[in-house]
Structure 1
């Protein structure tokens, strides 16, 4: 039986936050967006200002119960969407956009992060839950491209999810959105051909069909506010995902060998940060080098490795990345450190 450490309880924040958001949307939908942004800004400020929050506890390989946190999140997110649809049906347009932003914040910051964790699981049921979460933000192709594309090509110019040196977030976004979608369908076609399966056996097709069906039902029913809610929450969730991708590998490139193949992925090929609140809410995603080096390792076992360091946690870096001059000024100062680490 797994032992319970007090430090492991911090991961319960990962389900408490969406539960509180659910209460906010159901009771005061007109204020939900302000509450969500206040939490985002508050985390960013706390992580930047308080040194005690700059380090997370050591990994715990014994805590098997922690695998249930991303699983428990799935019904919470689906319930949040159900409550969101109800809240916007008769609301004014400002509230519609606010609730969409709030739902997208939870679905993007946590839902996609948890889908990512579930997709790396060795259990088929967990991977199915990952598909559910990604389908809920109209981005099911992530479940193909991330595992069979990004993890193979991360920190190379062939990877649409790795930002190049000097590339702003706003130039990166169209390249990664198109490239990830295109590569996902190409990779899925290769898999089906290899296993001699038809497209009807593809979860990517079924995920896309569900998305089309939801759009169709809302349009036929003339539920325009619900439709806008559905589109905006997905768009914001995807923006959060791709901005995190931008942050995680910005400017880091694996060398190409004489055979034309990139060198093995090393700790110096991902940016890391070990802030307490970010790692608690995002299941140690910020320990990103260890995740790439050991893709199947459960989040509770990820370690903080000697690797390039971000200026703050993901919450702050999301805001910094949106301002290219500020982002470049902060990150390019870290280039010597990056080169030193990558050469080890």
Structure 2
């Protein structure tokens, strides 16, 4: 078996977010929001100014530790959400509940959805079930259909609602991807059921929708309006982070048509970054070309391929993307250079 090295423990750094935000929330919703904002801003700044943080350790062979990092996050996130509901229920200020929801949503979006994505690619039924559970917790279970059967087939094409077009701002992209991903997920699931001659009672997507609706009822009964506001804000913020990262990952990159079909996905069809802390926190998601080219490869085994490179890690790019003129100014020269000289 592959021997565990001390550097492999770096992926446990991801646990600092749910534990840190949860500890802060115990004292104050505002403290939790401050921690979440501080992490997002701090990682962005440090990865920009420290050259030594712009490269991650080499790819590693599979080891049970890497799977355990993902599975344990499900427990940490469940605990964080439960704590969030308890704290929210005690608040009299909607602003404080809003701050708490944004704080917790930073974890459920940046890490919960990222880890759900990785678990969903696993061959293990347990892992895929945990992936569904994480996506149900942010009210976005249809991702578990659309991402694997839709996005991975159509990424970097005009048919993919999760691939941003050159010149398209984040704020124009969001309504398009939200509506398009929803429609695509249900269409893909309907096709699957028809192919297997099954009804909707056999659809995990349909049951996930039931679970999401039932859980909202439980939240209302247990934590009142504060719980509903908290849950809605954390889910919305989590989805916003997911779709903002989707915007970044394939921005302006396009697969050519070859005999009426998109060319095979290559290193040139996703933006990559190899910054140290973001890759620790996000399970190497920034090694995105290799992930699309080898979707079943475990996250720790992904390689930093020489495809299009982002100016910084996802944390910094999220701030850039929020200001479209700044995003275009930074990214369009890189996009033009890559188009002219992709090698």
Query: How far off is 1:250 after superposition?
Result: 0.2
Distance, in Å, in 2 between the alignment partners of 1:114 and 1:62 is: 16
1:5 aligns with 2:5: yes
| 1:217–1:64 Cα change, 3 Å | closer
Greater than 4 Å deviation, 4+ residue runs: 218-222
Residue of structure 1 equivalent to 2:262: 262
5 Å-filtered alignment, 1:97-246, equals 97-219=98-220, 223-246=224-247
Distance, in Å, in 1 between the alignment partners of 2:223 and 2:23 is: 27
Contact 1:306/1:341 (<8 A) preserved: no
What SS class does the counterpart of residue 333 from structure 1 fall into? helix
Q: RMSD of the TM alignment (CA)? A: 1.3
Q: Give the TM-score taking structure 2 as reference length.
A: 0.97
Contact 1:156/1:262 (<8 A) preserved: yes
Stretch of structure 1 that moved more, 20-29 or 320-329: 20-29
Query: How far off is 1:44 after superposition?
Result: 0.4
Contact 1:307/1:341 (<8 A) preserved: no
Residue of structure 2 equivalent to 1:299: 299
Contact 1:308/1:341 (<8 A) preserved: no
Residue of structure 2 equivalent to 1:329: 329
1:272 aligns with 2:272: yes
Stretch of structure 1 that moved more, 91-100 or 261-270: 91-100
What SS class does the counterpart of residue 223 from structure 1 fall into? helix
Query: How far off is 1:340 after superposition?
Result: 4.9
Residue of structure 2 equivalent to 1:66: 66
Distance, in Å, in 2 between the alignment partners of 1:135 and 1:197 is: 23
Distance, in Å, in 1 between the alignment partners of 2:20 and 2:191 is: 43
Distance, in Å, in 2 between the alignment partners of 1:29 and 1:159 is: 38
| 1:114–1:222 Cα change, 3 Å | closer
What SS class does the counterpart of residue 188 from structure 2 fall into? helix
Q: Give the TM-score taking structure 1 as reference length.
A: 0.97
Distance, in Å, in 2 between the alignment partners of 1:218 and 1:298 is: 35
Residue of structure 2 equivalent to 1:18: 18
Contact 2:62/2:298 (<8 A) preserved: no
| 1:304–1:330 Cα change, 3 Å | same
Query: How far off is 1:218 after superposition?
Result: 4.2
Query: How far off is 1:219 after superposition?
Result: 4.5
5 Å-filtered alignment, 1:308-327, equals 308-327=308-327
- Structure 1, unmatched stretches of 5+, are none
Paired residue total = 342
Query: How far off is 1:211 after superposition?
Result: 1.3
Contact 2:108/2:238 (<8 A) preserved: yes
Distance, in Å, in 1 between the alignment partners of 2:218 and 2:90 is: 18
Distance, in Å, in 1 between the alignment partners of 2:223 and 2:131 is: 30
Distance, in Å, in 2 between the alignment partners of 1:315 and 1:236 is: 15
What SS class does the counterpart of residue 262 from structure 2 fall into? coil
| 1:253–1:198 Cα change, 3 Å | same
Distance, in Å, in 1 between the alignment partners of 2:338 and 2:177 is: 23
What SS class does the counterpart of residue 334 from structure 1 fall into? helix
Stretch of structure 1 that moved more, 220-229 or 326-335: 220-229
- Structure 2, unmatched stretches of 5+, are none
Query: How far off is 1:329 after superposition?
Result: 0.4
What SS class does the counterpart of residue 160 from structure 1 fall into? coil
